[in-house]
Structure 1
Amino acid sequence: MIGLYCPDVPPIPGGVSDHTLILARSLSAFGAPPVVLALRGNPALFAPMTCVTGLKPTDIADAARAHGVSTVVIQYVPFLFARRGVSPALVLGIRRMARAGVGLAVIIHEPFVPFTRLPWLVTGFPQRWQFGYLMRRASHVYTPLPEFADIARRYTGSGTTVAVAPVGATLPVSPVSREEARQSLGLDNGTVAIGIFSPAASGFAHDWIAAAVARLAPRTEVVWVRFGFGSDRALPGYPSGANVRTVGETDPATVGKVMRALDLAAAPYVDGLTMRRTGAMLALAHGVPTVSSTGHLFDPQLRQIADCEATPEAFAERLERLAGDAVERRELALRSQGYCDLASVEVLAARLRTDLMPEATP
């Protein structure tokens, strides 16, 4: 049986917290319901799956053995385990798992901090040692970024499998119809709704949005829809006025409903589109034509399902063309359907089931 460990699970907010819930549900749908282990959260949200909370990393081994777990998959971001990203308790917990005969797999959302800030010059070295300790003891390592996979391979042993695997959207797809969703936002048939989701997310390219807003200013049919984390903040160059709908930070059902209403999603990131960008993945999961960016972490295979531009000017121009061409929007929407086979959480769940429960795989 597979175990999933994340310090925080819903309703504790956080992208990795949300991902743990949706991954657990996906594994269950594949006939491999996991045992979810956590420090904080509400076990009832995982029912009928087993979820045990109140567990520090040092408690993982005992909890895994008590529930018949053979391998624990740890959701890894260093700051999930300690304020500075360095956790002796995590290292001790991994050591206890090895002694108890409990296998280890790791999903890397972030390996360690770069040496770009003074505090990180201090914490960066122990974070790298901690990361290496996990990598050398894991049988399987998964990450949504090819560059992170390359980093992991430098730390792992010869017997470790390292794979690029998606995170997928961390919120559910809305069952609401497009017509109902658009009516709730006051969008008529002639309106082209362009969504900006969670602009306060780390790495969101604000100047790209500003360039698009300036270029599309003469287009009276365009309505900008701002929703999610930081969407109600005053940001330079962002749209304002009568052609804007601001929903703000809200519940998952409303987020999905707003996604369903969109004609386009504007999702540029300073490091480029990757499979860890769950906001863009949620747009693609809803079949929304998505325009994003390239960058130093950009995953080229995502060109199959989204338009990714190299400059703010090209990004703005692409949005303008799509806003004025319904046929091109439909073609891009059709491409977005490739999300399910390329970048969805179901792809990750299927890989975990195959790798960690080979006896259950037909």
Structure 2
Amino acid sequence: MSRPAAPTWHLLTGEYPPAPGGVSDHSRSIAQALVKAGETVRVWTPGTEAVTEEQGVTVHRWPGLFTPLGLPRLTRELDAYPGPRRLLLQYVPHAFGWKAMNVPFCAWFAARRQDERELFLHEAVYPWSAGAPWRHQVLAGVTRVMLRTLAHGVGRAYVSIPAWAEHLPEPLRTRARWCPIASPLPLEVSREAVRAVREALGGTPCVAHFGTYGAAIAKPLEAVLVPLLQRDERRQALLLGRGSQGWCDAIARRHPALARRLHARDGLSPEDVAAHLSASEVLLQPYPDGVSARRSSAMGGLGLGLPIVTHTGHLTEPLWRELRPVALADDASPGALLELVEHLLENGEERRALGERASRVYREHFALEHTVAHLLRQAPPVFRDSP
């Protein structure tokens, strides 16, 4: 008796390179890892009209793909490929347009009963607050309806943080698997590349930040970084990621005495970002909701074995407190973060030990191969509070 045909993976994502973003990076990592595991993978994403072959992954792009006008074409093109088909939706509400309220797309996904459907939640819903403006109240309600619609008939669900599982209906909620977001950066960097960055920065102590410099992170970052540089004139600040140059320029205008020690590197390749991060003594990463496994910028530092200073918040998983792969403040106050950075800068042995622990915890709990193993596992997954 012949074996049934293996399903083809069809990744549906609102972001895929060259489009920037954490979901974009994660989608590419998952697609390429599945191909390396011997799977057939097609990606469907908005973009300039094209069908391309990218490292073994077939990528289908066209404008408005997930809009009501684009869904009939998506249906036709998907149905043109033989089954079985396994649809993996990389979900974050705002990535599918319509101001994060694309209910028609969610209904379309729920109606694809002829396909195996799996859901990866990068973000689940817009947060609800009784005192929020009415438009935010509407958005919070609609995103909850969207998620329940998507979950109807889904075989398996994966969540970037355990908190997202709480928004899923039963029995999917108890079956959801925690799959942390893996590092978007290479895990190994040549010594020559790191040495070149250190020489370019003058060889003095350097504190780095990796992110996109949104308002929720930029303000607390400035509150720590400015006094840190003011305390010691040898110190440098290395700012990496999209938006770093604009933020750097703004800080230099407000604090002109620090301008020569602020170094922005916007638009670097993942390899160059990894080399620059590895050239720093400490990575400073404040987050509005605390460090969590959905923060690819934190994962980038962990994967490289860097000493990271960050803090807890309402989305922080227990693992961060239990295994301490980072220097963890109990609150986001500038004073608490500042003192942790100061302590690490003054204690090289502690920095090295923390970096080694970060690398070990990343390999054991967060590395991409754990997620791929879950995706390829046939038995229904089981949700736990920690890996």
TM over 0.5: yes
Deviation at 1:318, TM superposition (A): 1.0
Q: Could you say what secondary structure the match of 2:305 adopts?
A: coil
Q: Which residue of 2 aligns with 1:346?
A: 369
Unaligned 5+ segments in structure 1 are none
Q: Which residue of 2 aligns with 1:271?
A: 289
TM-score when normalising by structure 1: 0.86
Q: Which residue of 1 aligns with 2:42?
A: 35
Q: Could you say what secondary structure the match of 1:268 adopts?
A: coil
Amino acid at match of 1:70: R
Q: Could you say what secondary structure the match of 1:8 adopts?
A: coil
Deviation at 1:252, TM superposition (A): 3.0
| Matches of 2:74 and 2:257, distance apart in 1 | 48
Deviation at 1:149, TM superposition (A): 1.6
Specify which of 99, 102, 113 is matched with residue 84 of structure 1: 99
Change (3 A) 1:355 1:189: farther
Q: Which residue of 1 aligns with 2:4?
A: none
Alignment deviations for residues 64-83 of structure 1 (CA, whole Å, 9 cap, x no partner): 45153432110111111123
TM-score when normalising by structure 2: 0.81
Q: Which residue of 2 aligns with 1:293?
A: 311
Change (3 A) 1:142 1:205: farther
Q: Do the aligned partners of 1:166 and 1:343 also contact (CA within 8 Å) in 2?
A: yes
Q: Which residue of 1 aligns with 2:342?
A: 320
Q: Which residue of 1 aligns with 2:238?
A: 225
**Structure 1 segment 22-171 matched on structure 2, within 5 A:** 22-40=29-47, 43-44=51-52, 46-54=54-62, 55-56=65-66, 57-58=71-72, 62-65=76-79, 66-98=81-113, 101-115=114-128, 116-152=132-168, 155-157=169-171, 161-169=175-183, 171=184
What's the % identity of the aligned pairs?
24
| Matches of 2:257 and 2:117, distance apart in 1 | 47
Q: Could you say what secondary structure the match of 2:232 adopts?
A: coil
| Matches of 2:161 and 2:255, distance apart in 1 | 30
Deviation at 1:60, TM superposition (A): 5.0
Deviation at 1:223, TM superposition (A): 1.7
| Matches of 1:158 and 1:12, distance apart in 2 | 31
| Matches of 2:40 and 2:28, distance apart in 1 | 11
Structural RMSD (CA):
2.9
Q: Could you say what secondary structure the match of 1:75 adopts?
A: strand
Q: Do the aligned partners of 2:144 and 2:167 also contact (CA within 8 Å) in 1?
A: no
Q: Do the aligned partners of 2:161 and 2:317 also contact (CA within 8 Å) in 1?
A: yes
Deviation at 1:282, TM superposition (A): 0.9
2:303 aligned with 1:280, yes or no?
A: no
| Matches of 1:202 and 1:110, distance apart in 2 | 19
Deviation at 1:162, TM superposition (A): 0.9
Q: Do the aligned partners of 2:47 and 2:61 also contact (CA within 8 Å) in 1?
A: yes
| Matches of 1:60 and 1:161, distance apart in 2 | 29
Unaligned 5+ segments in structure 2 are 1-6, 382-387
Deviation at 1:356, TM superposition (A): 7.7
Q: Which residue of 1 aligns with 2:3?
A: none
Alignment deviations for residues 308-359 of structure 1 (CA, whole Å, 9 cap, x no partner): 212332211111111111111110110111212212232211111114899x
Alignment deviations for residues 217-236 of structure 1 (CA, whole Å, 9 cap, x no partner): 33344221012122122146
